[in-house]
A = this chain, B = another copy of it.
């Protein structure tokens, strides 16, 4: 039920773009070392698992994500908090913030968010 890493990459594209042909997904994630049919196969498997739905009315099938983005992200997040951060959400968050990846703008966003949380 939990998407694999590759499936996650594909879902990412589908969530962003709404709907895509296999080729669009393939080109969006231009992974140097994977062939077109690999992505095709993965998406077919995802279809079997009902992670995506597809419109087969024309030759080129059009895929759409069929699982909830936030729910799926949360699933990964919780797993990660458990196995990587020993159950501590705050440690994860602080590490994410101390990270070079978090920009000033992002930190401001988070402050606003915390204030909102507080006022409830």
Chain A residues with CB under 8 Å of chain B are 5, 8-9, 12, 16, 70, 73-74, 76-78, 80-81, 83-86, 88-90, 92-99, 101-103, 106-107, 109-111, 113-114, 117
Copies, count: 2
Min C-beta distance of A74 to chain B, whole Å: 6
Q: Give, as a whole number of angstroms, the nearest-CB distance from A34 to chain B.
A: 15
Q: With A16-B86, A86-B16, A88-B106 in contact, is A97–B81 under 8 Å at CB? A: no
Give 10 new A-B contacts, CB below 8 A, not counting A9-B83, A16-B86.
A12-B83, A76-B80, A76-B84, A77-B99, A78-B99, A78-B101, A89-B99, A93-B97, A93-B106, A97-B117
